[in-house]
C-alpha cells in the first residue's frame, strides 16, 4: 500500500495527505541525522530497527520507505538497518 492509498483509507483530504507526506519526509530526515550521529556509517554493522522506528506505528512502513530512498539499508524483513 502506498502512502496515498493509506491516506485515502484513513479518510484524509488532499491537504491532509500533503501534510502527512511532509511529516513523513521530515521525520525521515531527522531520523537520518540521528543515525549519522549515533551509528557508525560504512562499518558493515547492522543495528535493530526498533532503535530508530516504532514498528507498531501504522506509518512505520512509509517512514522506512523514505529512509530507503535516503540510503538506509534494511534486511531481515526490516528488523535490521545500516547506513
d(C-alpha 53, C-alpha 39), whole Å: 14
The residue written with cell numbers 547506513 in the block is 83
Spatial neighbors of 36 by CB under 8 A, at least 6 apart, are 83
pLDDT at 40: 83
Q: Length of the chain, please? A: 83
pLDDT at 51: 92
Quote the pTM value.
0.88
Closest CA to 28 of 2, 1, 65: 65
- Predicted confidence pLDDT, tens digits, the chain (83 residues): 899 999 999 999 999 999 999 999 999 999 999 999 998 877 889 999 999 999 999 999 999 999 999 999 999 988 999 98
Amino acid at each position: 500500500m502506498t502512502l496515498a492509498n493509506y491516506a485515502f483509507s484513513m479518510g484524509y483530504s488532499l491537504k491532509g495527505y500533503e501534510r502527512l507526506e511532509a511529516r513523513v519526509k521530515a521525520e525521515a530526515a531527522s531520523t537520518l541525522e540521528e543515525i549519522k550521529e549515533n551509528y557508525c556509517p560504512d562499518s558493515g554493522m547492522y543495528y535493530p530497527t526498533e532503535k530508530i522506528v516504532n514498528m507498531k506505528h501504522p506509518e512505520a512502513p512509509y517512514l522506512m520507505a523514505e529512509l530507503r530512498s535516503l540510503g538506509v539499508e534494511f534486511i531481515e524483513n526490516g528488523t535490521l538497518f545500516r547506513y
